Amino acid sequence: AMKIGDMVMAHEQWVESSGAIGTRGDFSGMDLSGVDFTNRNLSAAIFVHTRLRSTKFVKAILDLTDFSHSDLTGADMSKADLRGANLTDAVLRRANFTNADLKVQTAHLPNGMTREFPVTLRGCRFAETNFTGVECDRLKTSGEKPTGIIAADTFKALFVAA
């Protein structure tokens, strides 16, 4: 099996070459607790059902990354680019999103159309989850007011916005 560092490097090549070389990083089902991904480019990587407890994603590029069903307890996503990321059913207890970018990601499709991907925070488990200072314009959520988050009222309001 490939080592994590090799997978990350192959993924960064895949991103930079628009898929011509390297391999899209699929870390599904792995235990990457405590791994330091600070400043890495994990754009559109797959972390489904991944254990990411206390994992560091500080200033990482995580736009369109899939974190669905993952355990991000105590993870540090501060200053990360999470535009369009999918956090459906993720455990986000004590996760730190301070000053992260949670804006809509606009993808330009080959047919000239564009598609907008808001960050998805449906079914998440929050407790002391810190969203202080995040930039965000729209979210995909379950539609109810979140409990267990530390955030500005403007951000909290996005959970119940239509």
What's the pLDDT tens digit per position in 12-56?
Answer: 999 999 999 999 999 999 999 999 999 999 999 999 999 999 999
The predicted structure's pLDDT at residue 162: 59
Locate the DSSP E strands across the chain: 105-108, 114-117, 119-120, 129-130, 139-140, 149-150
Burial of 10 (0-12, 13-18, 19+ CB in 10 A): middle
Evaluate whether 144 touches 124 at the Cβ level (below 8 Å): no
Q: What's the pLDDT tens digit per position in 88-143?
A: 999 999 999 999 999 999 988 889 999 999 999 999 999 999 999 999 999 999 99
Task: Write out the two tokens for 95.
Answer: 């996760």
> Whole-angstrom Cα distance, residue 162 to residue 114?
21
Task: Write out the two tokens for 37.
Answer: 């991904």
Closest CA to 97 of 76, 81, 112, 115: 76
What values do phi and psi take at 48, rounded to 5? -95, 130
Closest CA to 148 of 120, 124, 128: 128
**125: β partners:** 91
